[in-house]
Amino acid sequence: MLQTPSGGAGHGTAATDSGLMSIGAVLSALRGEFPEVTISKIRFLESEGLIEPQRTPSGYRKFSAHDVERLGHVLRMQRDHYLPLKVIREHLEAMERGEAVQLPVVGRQRGGASVPEPPEGPSAARIGRDELLAAVGVEKRELKEWESYGLLTPLEDGAYDAEAVTLALLVVELGRFGIEPRHLRAMKAAAEREAGLVDQVVAPLRRHRNPQTRAHAEARTKELAGLTVKLHAALVQSALGVRLP
């Protein structure tokens, strides 16, 4: 049985008399565990067939408690296991048929704890090419194209760091909207410039002999990275004239 994302479908919001919830109410219910979820994300998961909310005669979405539970499960599998939507869909269908299924594991669980993995599976910090292809659900030619544009870069031994799964899944999702890898070169270049700016600020601290100062450099890097990401998002929203929830 699927677990509700925050202790129950109606947790933190009011349901209608029929027990159905609006998309805004669902967003409020999910935000406790998934602060980054947006209405656009919920609509996207619906378009991918992962949920099927009811519609009012006026066309408004109405979500049942089962829809909210299913959404929470989908978001949890993306966050904790880095699974592509195709694998998540198959997993949920198997669960609803009453089959005993085990999630494939990639990378780390939330909180940084290493997860048990099959003997031939990827390590917690690295993932092989075949494992990456399987986790994301793409062919070798697509991965090769991403590499040609610098979107993903293998390590010296041909493996990838765990973050490659997240990057690849984002490239796939953008592709569903017609945004091709070649279109993402500008974003890659912008990210490298932003990273260079952060590195320029913390480089003197990293070179310091004092271990505490070097540790402070790591903390400062994370802080600056977070601020840079927020600024980038705000600038994109401002340029588009939109405001995300």
| pLDDT tens-digit readout, 162-205 | 788 888 888 988 888 889 999 998 888 888 898 888 888 888 88
**Sign of the C-alpha dihedral computed for residues 156, 159, 163 and 165 taken in this order:** positive
Can you give the pTM of this predicted structure?
0.48
Predicted pLDDT of residue 144: 92
pLDDT of residue 12: 36
Is the model's pLDDT at 64 over the cut of 90? yes
Tell me: the pLDDT tens digits for 103-117?
A: 655 444 444 443 333
Q: How far apart are CA 188 and CA 185, in angstroms?
A: 5
CA distances, 37 to each of 45, 76, 230, 238 (Å) = 11, 11, 15, 20
**In this model, does residue 100 exceed pLDDT 80?**
no
Q: Element (H or E) spanning 237, and its range? A: helix 211-240
Percent of the chain with pLDDT over 70: 81
Task: Please state, rounded to an integer, the average pLDDT across all residues of the chain.
Answer: 78
* Average of per-residue pLDDT across 82-102: 78
CA separation for the pair 233, 179 (Å, rounded): 18
pLDDT grade for 102, boundaries at 50, 70 and 90:
low
